[in-house]
Amino acid sequence: MDALAECGDVICVDRLVDPCLEMGAIIRRSYETRSPAPLFTRLTGVAAGHRVLGAPAALSSDPRRPLARVALSLGLPAEVTGRQIVEHIAEARRRPTVPPVEVATGPCKENIRVGPRASLEGFPAPLLHLGDGGRYINTWGTIVACTPDGTFTNWSIARIMMIDEKRLTGLVAPGQHLHKVWRQWAELGRPMPYALVQGGDPALPFVAGMPLPDGVEEAGFLGALTGKPVEVVRCETVDLMVPANAEIVIEGYLSTSPDADEGPMGEFTGYIPQHGSKQPSYTVEAVTHRHDPIWPHVVEGQPVDEFHTASGISLAAEILSHLRAAGLPVSTVWAPFESATHWTAITVSGTWREQLPGLTSGELVERIKDALATCRAYVLLTRTFVLDDDIDPSNISELIWALATRWHPTEGHHVRTGPIVPLLACYSPAEQASASGPKGVYDCLLPEPGQGRLVRSSFQHGYPADLQQEVVRTWTP
Residues taking part in catalysis: 267
Classify burial at 182, counting beta carbons within 10 Å of its beta carbon; exposed 0-12, middle 13-18, buried 19 or more. buried
Distance of alpha carbon 36 from alpha carbon 60, whole angstroms:
7
Cis amide linkage into residue 304, ω under 30° from 0: yes
Separation between Cα atoms, residue 343 and residue 381, nearest integer Å: 7
Separation in Å, CA 395 to CA 22, 337, 347: 33, 10, 13
DSSP label at residue 66: T
- C-alpha–C-alpha distance, residues 88 and 172, integer Å: 30
Residue in 326, 332, 318 with CA at minimum distance from that of residue 390: 332
- Show the beta-strand stretches assigned E in 290-378: 294-297, 330-334, 343-348
Distance between CA atoms of 245 and 200, rounded to whole angstroms? 5
DSSP state for residue 230 in the 8-state scheme: P
Residue 60 carries which side chain, given as an amino acid letter? S
